[in-house]
Structure 1
Amino acid sequence: MSHIHDVATLTSKGQITLPKSIRQALGVDTGSKVAFDLRDGEVVVTRADAGHEDPAIGEFLALLEADIRAGRNVQSLPEDLVLAMLANASHAVNLDEDIDGEVAL
């Protein structure tokens, strides 16, 4: 994703309007929900319905959703993969956390 820098003005009620470039990059529109996370003094804004912090999983799910909405024939996923995905769907992920054990790439 490219770097976008834009500025918004805070109103007396503590409200801001997300700049158009940010709304487009997030894929949000009227009625969409956004989440705000404070990380080391910076505010990170994401789609509240994004569902995953892992960008690879998020992109995969978006691609899959687009195929389904377009009526493309999406092959069934193996049952064990579906069960594993469902079991981990609400699992909190800390991408900065160290990995225990060996990792084979």
Structure 2
Amino acid sequence: MSSAIEDDSTLTDRYQTTVPASVRRALNLKRRDRIHYTIRPNGEVVLTRARDESSQDPVVANFLAFLERDMQQQPENIRPVTASTFAEAERLTSGIEVDLDEALPEDDDDA
């Protein structure tokens, strides 16, 4: 999105609200879709379309949550990916071929 979308809604007596049309359009929400709320430490609330839980990998989700916490707690450690960083990653992985369709080997517990 190129510019911020802002809108308001009102809470009912039962703490319910209608998601404004501008937000529904921006998130491509349809009837019965689920909404995900992220409450940041500064009190900011981020509203996103909820992902299908059956497609979420719990290991990846936990790793991403760890990264998010780490970046929030230690923002001074965040560094940009520069051209030289990218070149170093390319150098380290040059000549390595990966077949994404290849079956993973069984874990070797004897190692």
TM (norm. structure 2) is: 0.51
Give the share of equivalent positions with the same residue, in percent: 34
Q: CA RMSD in A?
A: 3.2
**Higher relative contact order structure (alpha carbons within 8 Å, sequence separation ≥ 6):** 1
Structure 1 portions without partners, runs of 5+? 52-85
The one-letter code sitting in structure 2 at the alignment partner of 1:90 is A
Name the structure where helix makes up a greater proportion of residues: 2
Larger radius of gyration: 2
Residue 63 of structure 2: aligned partner: 92
Take 1:17 and 1:87, find their aligned partners in 2: how far apart are those partners? 31
CA gap of 1:15–1:87, structure 2 versus 1, over 3 A, is closer
TM (norm. structure 1) is: 0.53
The superposition leaves residues 38-80 of structure 1 with CA deviations (integer Å, 9 ceiling, x where unpaired) of 11111110111178xxxxxxxxxxxxxxxxxxxxxxxxxxxxx
In the alignment of these two chains, the number of paired residues is 70
Structure 2 portions without partners, runs of 5+? 72-76, 87-111
